[in-house]
A and B are shown apart, each in its own frame.
Chain A
Amino acid sequence: MSPQTISEKILSAHIGHDVYAGDVIICPVDRVIGTDASSPMTIDYFEQMGGATLFDPAKVMFAFDHYAPAVTESTRGFHARVREFAGRFGAELHDEGSGISFQRAAELGRVLPGDVVIGADSHTVTCGALNLFAIGVGSSDLAAAMITGKIWLRVPESIKVVITGRLIAGVSAKDVALQLVREIGAEGADYQTLEFHGEGIASLSMDDRLVLCNLAVEAGAKAAIFPCDAITREYLEPRSSKLGASVGADADARYSGIVAVDLSAMTPRVALPHAPTNVVPIEQAIGTPVQMVFIGTCTGGRVNDFHDALRVLELAGRSIFPGVQLVLTPASREVADILDSDGTFARFRAMGATITATGCGACCGTSGVIPGDNVNVLSTANRNFKARMGNASANIYLASPIACAAAAAAGYIVDPRSIMTARTAN
C-alpha cells in the first residue's frame, strides 16, 4: 500500500480497497443534503430515474435557505413540493428559519470525521473543516445518490496547504481564504482537494476552518479537508454522541502542489468587483465609499463573525455611518439564538442595523435585501459576480467581517487595523 492523502484514505475506507488520485469509483455516501434551490429539480430527476424510495431516509436531509423566507409564489411552490417529498419519504426537513443547509448539517452533528458527504450546493465543501470528504454536486447526482446511496467520483489529487504562525489583530480567516483563492486562481484547484496542514491550524477555530474550506470552491476545489484535532472534538462533543473516524494523511502521501501560508504575515484583503479572485491588499481599496454592508452567508455569518464585527463597531464609536445600510443575516438558528441571548444583536439593533431571517439572505438576490442601483456593497460573502445580489449595476466588494464593520462605521473602506490599534492604544 502506497502512502495516501486524507481524501484517498476516506474514499478507500468507503469502497473497501485502496484507491489513489485518478481512480474512478462508485462510492457510498454517508449524508445527502438538498436545498430549496436545488431540490425541486432533484425531485424531477428522482421521478425520471424511477425512484421509489430513499436508500436510507435517515441519511437524507433538506434545508430551506436560499428562498427563506419564501417571498414569491414560485418559491412557496418549491417549498411545498420539497416539504411534501420529504414527508412522503421520511427525510429530515429543516424548514424556513433553520439556516444554511451544510451549516445545519455541521451544527447538528449530521456530518462526522471520515464521512463522505454530498450536497446539491457548491459550498457543501465547507463541511470538510470537520475532517471529512464533502463535495458539491448538481440536482441529478443528488437524486441518483438519494436512490442508490452512491455517487461516481474521480479520486482527486490534493494540494497541501501548510499553515504556520498566528493571525494578528484586525486580520481574520476570511483574509487568508481570499488570499489563497487569489494565489491558487479561479481554477487552480479544479478537481482537487485542498488539504490543510501545519502547526498554525491549532490556532484556527472551527469557524475559521469553515471559512477556509468554504472559499476553496472559488479556487475550483472539489473538496477541502482539515485534520481532526482537539478543536474538532470540542466542536463535535456537544453535537453528536459519535465522533466519527478521524483520518490523517500518511507522511509520504503524494501532493500535486504545496502552498505555504504564514498567518502572522497576513494582512486584510478585499476582493474587488466582479470576481472573488480579484483580491488586493485592503490598502488598495481604502476610500471606496460604501452604501450597503452585508454581514452574513455561509462564509461570514457565524458567531465569531458577528462578535468580531460588533467589537470593531463599538471601538469605532457605536454608530453606523449615515447613509450606510448595515444588513446582518445569521447563517443558522443556532447562530441567531446565541447572538440573541448574549446581547450581540440587541447592540447591533441599537445602532440601526437590519437583522434579517436566517439563511442565505442577500447573498444571491433570492430572499434578502437587494442593493440599489450603482450601490457599492461590502460583503462577507464568497461571490461577487456581477448581478449576484440581484442588481447588475451594484458593485460587490468582499472582505472580512472586521473590515465590513469598519466600513459600516466609516462610510468607506478603511483598514480595520487603524481602528483596532488606535483605540487599543488609548
Chain B
Amino acid sequence: MSFELRGRARRLGDDINTDYIIASTRKRDTLDTAVLQRYLLETVDPAFATSVRAGDIIVAGRNFGCGSAMEIAATVILAAGINVVVAQSFARTFYRNAINNGLIPVVCDTGAIKEGDAIAVRLIGGASNVHVEALELTFVGAPLPAIMLEILNAGGLAPYMRANAGFLDSVSGPP
C-alpha cells in the first residue's frame, strides 16, 4: 500500500480514551456511525463534530484510544471522514481496531504539529512519514508490522478474512 494523504491537522492531547472518542452512553442508543459521528469527541470538545471536515487528520499525543476496547471508536472516526490518526503512541486495542477497519494509525513525533496545520501523511509499504508544510519538516513514522500491512492492504480484517478464508499461515517480518 502506498499513498499520500493531505489534510488539516485536528489537534488532540494525551490519553484520549475511547469513551471520549464516543461515549458508551451514545453507543448504547445506536450503532449507526452516521448518527454517532455527531457526538465524536463531544466530552473533549463539544464543537469538534460540527467543525470536522472529510479529509481532516487527527493528530494526538500519547496513548490515543486508551480505555475500553470498543471498536466503534475507530469506525466513528472513519464515518466522520477521517482516514488517518497520527499519534505519539496508541493504546493496543485501539491500534488493532483501527487497522482492522482500514483506519490508518501512524506513530510519530507529533509535538510540533498544531491545530489546523496542513500536513501530508505518506505511507510507502510499511514505512510512513508525516510532512508538516508550515514547518517544512518531515517526521518519520514507526514501521507497520507485516500482518497489519496485509490487513490494511485488504481494506480491513473483514475483507482480509473473506479473501483468504481465514488467516494466512505465513506471518512475516519483525513487528
A interface list, Cβ under 8 A from B: 22, 24-26, 37-38, 40-41, 44-45, 48-50, 66-67, 72, 74-75, 120-122, 136-141, 143-144, 147-148, 150, 152, 154, 186-187, 190-191, 220, 222, 275, 277, 364-366, 383, 385-388, 390, 392
Can you list 10 pairs linking A and B with CB atoms under 8 Å apart? A26-B171, A122-B67, A122-B93, A139-B71, A187-B62, A220-B66, A383-B17, A387-B23, A388-B24, A392-B43
With both beta carbons as reference points, the residue of chain A lying nearest to B162 in the complex is identified as: A50
- Are B100 and A141 within 8 A (Cβ)? yes
Instruction: Give the tally of cross-chain contacts (CB within 8 A).
Output: 145
Question: How many residues belonging to B are interface residues under a CB distance threshold of 8 Å?
Answer: 48
Whether A366 contacts B92 in the complex (CB less than 8 A), given A40-B31, A147-B161, comes out as: no
- Are A136 and B93 within 8 A (Cβ)? yes
- Are A45 and B167 within 8 A (Cβ)? no
Write out, one digit per residue, whether chain B residues 67-101 have a CB within 8 A of any chain A CB (1) or not (0).
Answer: 11111101000000000000001011100110011
Per the 8 Å Cβ criterion, residues 1-59 of B in contact with A are: 14-15, 17, 19-20, 23-25, 27-31, 43
B interface list, Cβ under 8 A from A: 14-15, 17, 19-20, 23-25, 27-31, 43, 62-63, 66-72, 74, 89, 91-93, 96-97, 100-101, 145-147, 156-159, 161-162, 166-167, 169, 171, 173-175
Cβ contacts under 8 Å, B62 to chain A: 186-187
**Least distance between A316 CB and chain B CB atoms (Å):** 33
With both beta carbons as reference points, the residue of chain B lying nearest to A42 in the complex is identified as: B71
Cβ contacts under 8 Å, B173 to chain A: 24
| Whole-angstrom CA separation of A190 from B142 in the bound complex | 15
- Are B158 and A187 within 8 A (Cβ)? no
- Are B69 and A385 within 8 A (Cβ)? no
Pick the residue among A45, A75, A137, A222 that contacts B158 (CB under 8 A): A45
Whether A154 contacts B175 in the complex (CB less than 8 A), given A26-B169, A49-B158, A190-B89, comes out as: yes
Cβ contacts under 8 Å, A383 to chain B: 17, 19, 67
Pick the residue among A143, A222, A386 that contacts B43 (CB under 8 A): A386
- Are B63 and A140 within 8 A (Cβ)? no
**Least distance between A370 CB and chain B CB atoms (Å):** 9
**Least distance between B101 CB and chain A CB atoms (Å):** 7
Cβ contacts under 8 Å, B147 to chain A: 24, 152
**Least distance between B40 CB and chain A CB atoms (Å):** 14
| Whole-angstrom CA separation of A277 from B17 in the bound complex | 13
- Are B19 and A41 within 8 A (Cβ)? no
